[in-house]
Structure 1
Amino acid sequence: MKRLLLALATAASLGLGLGLPLPAAALDPATTTASDQNYLARVPYQTYFADYLALRKGREAEIIFIGDSITEQFRWGSGASVWNRRFEQRAFDFGLGADRTQHVLWRLDNFDLSFLKPKVAVIMIGTNNVNNEAEDTAAGIKAVIAATQKKFAGVKVVVVSILPNSRAEQRMAEVNKLVAPLADNKTIWYLNLAARFTPEGDNWKGLSGDKLHLTTAGYTMWADELEALLAVVQK
């Protein structure tokens, strides 16, 4: 961890970028683990996560949520009231803003999460892989699943569909079609949330004004659907 924080400070002093979406030509394949330089350049995000990790160190969690800002904001953003009531005592939020599959792979490789001992991993990732082709993003999600299973022996995985995304709605729908068949209902389950977030006029139900992040109602929908599935997964 000292090495990580030193690298964060170095990245900050160099004025490196904040991990915003890159042009397609600059993107690594979605299955590639982000380089240390690419990951550590995103200083505000990583500093925030290091603080949260230190706060939770030593506390086991029955469930780990893995993802990007949509997952991260479940804990402190629009989803906080839902999280505090339904997941705070039994879950760890491994979501981080702006993450693509490449960044999640880096975090799974580099953070010590052995204290968690989760029984279930809930993975929602891919919406920031907006410039990757659908097949590549789906392969990246598959790589995240494999890395999660490797890190947490015996963990059961719930893969959540990418939600409607105004930046690339058709491409995200294509990714979901490719990811759904990964479920075997033994070690991997698929939760199709996208079907619940249906358009209402100019907006998708459950999404905020940016047509990407969730409202409190959206997080409630996610929690309801997830808990119904967890009743099956955790039998």
Structure 2
Amino acid sequence: MKQLVNFLLIVAIFFSPVFCFGQKIKVACVGNSITYGAGIVNREKNSYPAQLQVYLGDKYEVRNFGSNGATAFHEGDYPYVQTEAYKQAIAYSPDIVFIKLGTNDSKPQNICYQQDFKSNYLELIRSFSKLTSKPRIILLSPLRCFLPEAAPIKDSVIRSALVPVIEEIARKEKLEYIDLYDLMGNEYDASLMPDRLHPSSIGAGRIAQKLYEYLKPENYDPNPCTHPICGNEYRSGAGWKEGADWHAVSEEISQITSSQKLDILFLGNSITQGFGGNRRLVTYKPGKAAADSCFTHLRWESAGISGDRTETLLWRIRNGGYGKSEPAYVFITIGVNNIIAGHQVNDIAEGIKSVVQESKREFPDSKIVLFGLLPVGLEKESERRQKCDAIHQLLKLQNWGDVLYVNPTPWFTQENGELKTELYGGDYLHLTTKGYEVWCQHIKDVLSLISEIK
């Protein structure tokens, strides 16, 4: 009898909506314009549900059921339960539901129904809990709003009148709850919320990462530097043509590298992007003349993208098709944006190691040269420099096999450890034209060294 019960239990689990073989775990993101991705360039790829899909991988199917202006209030000016997005979310019969409403409920014409907020919110929840898929329901708090108090959407109302009710509902109904209120910080940051209300693609990335870390799926990687994800940069300050986003820039690199054989391919972030190459979407190319001068008889291309970290470069190497260019040499310079993002030194070093391993798979016949990251921070005692040096200490201890590891720090620093200021811009991170000339000359020396070893 016991064996029969165990068998039936296994069958029940195996054929349940979440565990059925070959069936993806369906995730519904329910919400307002913040979920929809209003104002985000290329929102189909950069909204937080879209970015969450990349984090979760192929075993999940994440769908965006956000609706601009939606309220939890049934009597509000745009009730979510009356939207087409709501009907589609119910018909989707998800396995996991993230519900993120409340921001628009703070408007004067809506908050007048404050006494109904709890009951209306509960009705929405129960409409999902009644589904045959019996979804896991996770409530999300509204984000902090940075609009002035005179604006229709009021942060004071969100904070004092709505967030506490959502927390109470989660507690009493024994539902999961994720507090996103302070996720964008305590002070306004234009890169995260350009209009003070809606997250940018970068801000949406923060939400996606938070949800991924909460779910901890089967492929969960606790090291943010080694889990391949798409980038979410979008700003014109990234050195791109106005309107271009990370995906457009990444796709252009794939088109270029798939159409020609190369002698040299540079992989990296904005510092590598500064070489420019033949990329039309890149508008700032302070290193192109130096590279053209040093590598006159070589076909080279820059596959650097502003803002890239080890994890985003990992994704590009894995998905960009760069191997079609069959480069003779691959130069890797990555990691500084991981420092800026606040990642741990050990994690960054592991991320760089993962980039090298992925490069070896993608470029099996290429000579790979790892620079790690160029020195940053004016003084040797600066926090960024200390992290940079600590990463190089870890890289130095690795057995790189047939990969050549070269620490470029001495090329850009004086005897006392300070940066050579004429080689850097005012941020002590990006190179000047002179800096690229020095870098290219040393790369030329490295190529000569490799030739001598051969």
Give the TM interval when normalised to the shorter protein. 0.7 to 0.9
Counterpart in the other structure of 2:346: 135
Equivalent of 1:42 in 233, 251, 256: 233
Is 1:151 matched with 2:362? yes
Determine if contact 2:335/2:373 at 8 Å carries over to the other structure: yes
Determine if contact 1:165/1:211 at 8 Å carries over to the other structure: yes
Determine helix, strand or coil for the equivalent of 2:369.
strand
Counterpart in the other structure of 2:267: 66
Query: Which structure: larger Rg?
Result: 2
Measure, in 2, the Cα distance between the counterparts of 1:205 and 1:183. 34
Determine if contact 1:203/1:211 at 8 Å carries over to the other structure: no
Determine if contact 2:264/2:330 at 8 Å carries over to the other structure: yes
Measure, in 2, the Cα distance between the counterparts of 1:102 and 1:56. 20
Equivalent of 1:197 in 412, 437, 440: 412
Structure 1's unaligned 5+ residue stretches are 1-6
1:66-95: CA deviation from partner (whole Å, max 9, x where unpaired): 100000012252112112333474112111
Counterpart in the other structure of 1:219: 436
Measure, in 1, the Cα distance between the counterparts of 2:202 and 2:318. 18
Counterpart in the other structure of 1:33: 228
Determine if contact 1:65/1:123 at 8 Å carries over to the other structure: yes
Determine helix, strand or coil for the equivalent of 1:66.
strand
Cα distance change on mapping 1:81 and 1:19 into 2, 3 Å: farther
Determine if contact 1:160/1:193 at 8 Å carries over to the other structure: yes
Cα distance change on mapping 1:48 and 1:16 into 2, 3 Å: farther
Counterpart in the other structure of 1:175: 391
Counterpart in the other structure of 2:325: 116
Equivalent of 1:78 in 276, 286, 289: 286
Measure, in 1, the Cα distance between the counterparts of 2:324 and 2:442. 27
Measure, in 1, the Cα distance between the counterparts of 2:47 and 2:397. 45
User: Which amino acid in structure 1 is aligned with residue 405 of structure 2?
Assistant: Y
Determine helix, strand or coil for the equivalent of 2:266.
strand
Measure, in 1, the Cα distance between the counterparts of 2:327 and 2:402. 14
1:86-119: CA deviation from partner (whole Å, max 9, x where unpaired): 3474112111110000000110111112320012
Measure, in 2, the Cα distance between the counterparts of 1:33 and 1:117. 22
Measure, in 2, the Cα distance between the counterparts of 1:98 and 1:107. 13
Measure, in 2, the Cα distance between the counterparts of 1:13 and 1:63. 35
Q: How much does 1:149 deviate? A: 0.2
Measure, in 2, the Cα distance between the counterparts of 1:94 and 1:72. 7
1:37-80: CA deviation from partner (whole Å, max 9, x where unpaired): xx264351321232344345421001111100000012252112
Measure, in 2, the Cα distance between the counterparts of 1:215 and 1:125. 18
Determine helix, strand or coil for the equivalent of 2:429.
coil
User: Which amino acid in structure 2 is aligned with residue 42 of structure 1?
Assistant: E
Counterpart in the other structure of 2:450: 233
Deviates more, 1:205-214 or 1:13-22: 13-22
Determine if contact 2:257/2:325 at 8 Å carries over to the other structure: no
Cα distance change on mapping 1:196 and 1:134 into 2, 3 Å: same
Q: CA RMSD, aligned part only?
A: 3.0
Q: How much does 1:204 deviate? A: 3.4
Is 1:17 matched with 2:184? no
Determine if contact 1:183/1:189 at 8 Å carries over to the other structure: no
Determine helix, strand or coil for the equivalent of 1:94.
strand
Determine helix, strand or coil for the equivalent of 1:115.
helix
Equivalent of 1:125 in 334, 341, 356: 334
Measure, in 2, the Cα distance between the counterparts of 1:223 and 1:169. 22
Measure, in 2, the Cα distance between the counterparts of 1:55 and 1:196. 30
Measure, in 2, the Cα distance between the counterparts of 1:49 and 1:71. 14
1:124-151: CA deviation from partner (whole Å, max 9, x where unpaired): 0000011111111111101000000001
Measure, in 1, the Cα distance between the counterparts of 2:285 and 2:252. 17
Determine helix, strand or coil for the equivalent of 1:114.
helix
Counterpart in the other structure of 2:216: none
Counterpart in the other structure of 2:299: 90
Cα distance change on mapping 1:161 and 1:153 into 2, 3 Å: closer
Determine helix, strand or coil for the equivalent of 2:447.
helix
Greater RCO (CA < 8 Å, at least 6 residues apart): 1
User: Which amino acid in structure 1 is aligned with residue 407 of structure 2?
Assistant: N
Is 1:54 matched with 2:270? no
Cα distance change on mapping 1:51 and 1:190 into 2, 3 Å: same
Measure, in 1, the Cα distance between the counterparts of 2:351 and 2:257. 28
Measure, in 2, the Cα distance between the counterparts of 1:202 and 1:172. 13
Determine helix, strand or coil for the equivalent of 1:42.
coil
- TM-score computed with the length of structure 2 as normaliser: 0.44
